Amino acid sequence: MDVDVAIVGAGPFGLSSAAYLKNKGIGVRIFGDAMSFWRDHMPAGMYLRSNWAASHISDPGSKLTLDHFKADTGARFEQPIPLQQFVEYGQWYQRKALPDLQSSQVKNVEKNGSGFKVSLDDGSLLKARRVIVATGIAHFPWMPREFEGKPKTHVTHSSDHSDLSRFRGKEVVVVGSGQSALDAARILKSFEAEVEVIGRQKEIRWVGQNAWLHRLGPVSWCLYSNFDVGPAGLSRLVGFPNLFRLLPRRLQNPLSHRAIRPAGTGWQKPYLAAVPMTLDRLVTSVEIQGDKVRLKLSDFTERIVDHVIVATGYRADVSRYSFLDPSMARTLRTSGGNPVLARGLESSVPGLHFVGKPAAWSFGPLLNFISGTHFASAELLKAF
Ligand SMILES: Cc1cc2nc3c(=O)[nH]c(=O)nc-3n(C[C@H](O)[C@H](O)[C@H](O)COP(=O)(O)OP(=O)(O)OC[C@H]3O[C@@H](n4cnc5c(N)ncnc54)[C@H](O)[C@@H]3O)c2cc1C
């Protein structure tokens, strides 16, 4: 074998996993363009939804926190954390902990005896005893059927944008009512776009409306974990993924949904006061008409606009990982597109592990978020 572990992907989960394994003396190689999803698929002008305590990328000595980044670089920012600073934090973490990261893309992973053969886009090959898939959500953008297959000149997913200034002065509909939709609407408004939000929820939910519940000392401690995922009470349960996973599936699904249902951060409210929000509606048809898009809504009204940004989130489906060799993908046990994982975040293919969103079906909603890196990295070590 060339190496004990190959890690595919260099976002928060890949970086943290690599740092923990390396710290244990395990031979690890990590591949990917560090923090590229945050840099290229989120809009400039965005702020993180997670709070300060929940936005550190876990490292084994707790020496690579946001606070250490600020002290080391002189960067000046507070909560809410600006996207640009978070990208720079992740890149700083990589340089400090993993200076030998290889920015190549992984093209193929296939079983090779008791290990794996990993092919890179530069044509090189590597044999690894284990592989950790840490490729995030970039492979999983999801949009309702009505929008599928429309030209990107007219209809895009929110992940298609890192710079919304191209819509300056344009008429844009944003579909969705969660954080991505509200972020996009706020940023578009700052570019003097005529923007309307259309969502199927009955109302916008705002995070942070019960701030007083966080100021009750020990009572707050009982209600909320530092991981900042989920409402009072559920937040604590979500903070113990090994407990969450023991719950019957009929409880896990609604609790997961409740913990991460669409919502916007409360501080954005005043910035969106002038944005029309058409809620409790579905878009029933999408037609391209020259350089415009015509939308029909479930209330029988119509909109004709320059562009539609669909901010309806992501759905994990490992069959969309083109780098998983079909021979191996066939033997991977999945449920609804998610790999079924056991102790050590290991899949039914021995030695193949998943972290981040694809692990959330097995270990609960914490695995969707940066704060899930503390659990994931520690859990991975159990496999060694
Ligand atoms: C708009 C938006 C806002 C968000 N805000 C927050 C927030 O405030 N707080 C929070 O906790 N979470 C937030 N999230 C969720 C966030 O995506 C995850 O917390 C985090 O990105 C998960 O990290 P990751 O390492 O799993 O994935 P990513 O950060 O997506 O990293 C995956 C990496 O894998 C690389 N990669 C992919 N394929 C290959 C390949 N074949 N070979 C090599 N490398 C590859 C990519 O280039 C990328 O660098 C947000 C998500 C979105 C969409």
> What pairing do the DSSP bridges indicate for beta strands 3-8 and 28-31?
parallel
Output the pLDDT for position 230: 87
**375 Cβ closer than 6 Å to some ligand 1 atom:** no
Distance of CA 381 to the CA centre of its chain: 23
The first and second tokens of residue 32, run together, are: 């990917």
Output the pLDDT for position 68: 98
Please report the atom of ligand 1 found closest to the CA of residue 158. 1
pTM above 0.85, yes or no: yes
Output the pLDDT for position 218: 78
Output the pLDDT for position 149: 96
Positions in the chain whose pLDDT score sits under 70: 209
Strands (E), the chain: 3-8, 28-31, 106-112, 115-120, 125-133, 155-157, 171-175, 194-198, 206-207, 264-265, 277-278, 283-289, 292-297, 302-305, 307-310, 334-335, 338-339, 352-354
Output the pLDDT for position 168: 98
pLDDT digits (tens, 9 = 90+) for 276-315: 999 999 999 999 999 999 999 999 999 999 999 999 999 9
Distance 75 CA to ligand 1 centre (A): 22
Distance 60 CA to ligand 1 centre (A): 20
Output the pLDDT for position 220: 76
Q: Please name the residue whose Cα sits nearest to atom 18 of ligand 1.
A: 369
Output the pLDDT for position 175: 98
Please report the atom of ligand 1 found closest to the CA of residue 371. 11
Distance 218 CA to ligand 1 centre (A): 33
Output the pLDDT for position 134: 98
Please report the atom of ligand 1 found closest to the CA of residue 323. 41
Given a contact cutoff of 8 angstroms between Cβ atoms, the answer to whether 175 and 312 are in contact is yes
**234 Cβ closer than 6 Å to some ligand 1 atom:** no
In DSSP terms, 131 is beta-bridged to 6, 352
Distance 303 CA to ligand 1 centre (A): 33
